[in-house]
Amino acid sequence: MDVKQEYLRISLTDKCNYRCKYCLPNGNINSIENNKFLKIEEYFELAKIFNALIGLKKIRLTGGEPLLRKGLNKLVQMLSTLDPKPEISITTNGHYLSEKINDLIISGIDNINISIDSLDSSKFKKTTGNGNLQKVLESLKKAQKLGFSNVKINTVVTNTNFNEIPKFIDFAKKHEVSLRFIELMSFSSTSDYHKNEFISAKDIEKKLTELLPKENNTRESKLSPAVYRKINKSKKEIGLIAAASDPGCHKCTRLRISCDGKLFVCLYQNKGIDLKHELRNKNIGNLQEMIERAIKNKRTYNPLKTKEETWMSLSQIGG
C-alpha cells in the first residue's frame, strides 16, 4: 500500500461496563481470557517496533473500555518516552474518567475522546445498557476544570438519536467542546440493528447544513477521516465521519493491535496476524518482517461493498 501507515490503535481489553447496541447487540461477547492479553510492557515493545519501522504520528488506546485495564497510566507514561514521540490519545465511554483523568493527564495523555450517544438520561441508559449520563458529563466538566481542553465527543448517529443533532450542536457550543458525528458501521454480528437504525452520512450532512454554515468546512488532518465545520469563531469544531458510506480505504493510515496481540490492517479484517508469539520469543527480526509484509499487502477497498461477512466486534478491535 502506498499510503504511509502512521496511526496505531491499540485495544487494551475487550471488556466493557456498557452494552451499546451497535457494539454488543446481544449484550455480551465471547470475551478473550485475561491471561491471553498482552502485558502492558508488551504493548510498549510493539509500539517501539512500529515507531522505529514507520514513524508513528499517533497512538490511540481503545477497548472495550480502556479505563478498565490495570496499568493504563504506566503504559501512557511509557508511550510518552517514544522518540520521536507520537500523539497519545484514548477513547472512553467516560464512566470512570472523572476519577482517573488527573492521573492520565499527569502520565502524559494528549487527547481524550468520550463516546456520548444521547443527551437524554433515559435514552442514554437504554442505548448503553444501564449507563449513567450524568457521570459521563461530570467527567467532561472535570477535564475542563483541570484545564485539559483536548477533549472531543464522539456520537454514533442512529434513528434513535437523529433528532438530537441540534441538541448536540448546542451542547458543543455551550461547553466549547469539539464534536464528531459518526455514521453507523455494519458488522455481521450487528446486521439486524444496522438495518433498523442506520442513518446515512448524506442525511446527517443535510441536517448539519441546515444548522451550520457550509462555508466553515475544513479538514482536520490526514490521520482523521472527518470533515469539520467550525463552531462560530471558536477553535472547536463539529465533524462528520462517513464511516460506512466513505470509509476512505484508499487513504487509510490506520493499523490496529487487538488486546491479545493480533495485528489488523483493516477494521473489517476477520483474522488478525498473531504478533504475540514472536514478541514473547524475542524474534524481533521476524516481527519486523511480519509487520512490513502486512502493511505492504494492505487492501485498499471497502469489504462492505464486496459483501464480505465480518464477524469481529467493535469491542474486540476498538473501532
Question: Is it true that domain 7-317 has CATH number 3.30.390.50?
Answer: no
Neighbour-count burial of 141, counting CB atoms closer than 10 A to its CB (0-12 exposed, 13-18 middle, 19+ buried): exposed
Least confident segment among 44-48, 117-121, 259-263, 296-300: 296-300
Is the Cβ–Cβ distance between 102 and 146 less than 8 Å?
yes
The whole-number pLDDT of residue 307 equals 55
Q: For the chain, what percent of residues have pLDDT higher than 90? A: 68
Residue 179 has pLDDT above 90, yes or no: yes
Is the Cβ–Cβ distance between 311 and 186 less than 8 Å?
no
Read off the pLDDT band of 314 (50, 70, 90): low
The whole-number pLDDT of residue 312 equals 57
Sign of torsion over alpha carbons 207, 120, 25, 155: positive
Residue 78 has pLDDT above 80, yes or no: yes
Between CA 100 and CA 90 the distance in angstroms is 12
Q: 29 or 37: which carries more pLDDT confidence?
A: 37
Question: What's the pLDDT tens digit per position in 55-77?
Answer: 999 999 999 999 999 999 999 99
The residues that bridge with 274 in the sheet, in sequence order, are: 262
Domain boundaries, the chain: 7-317
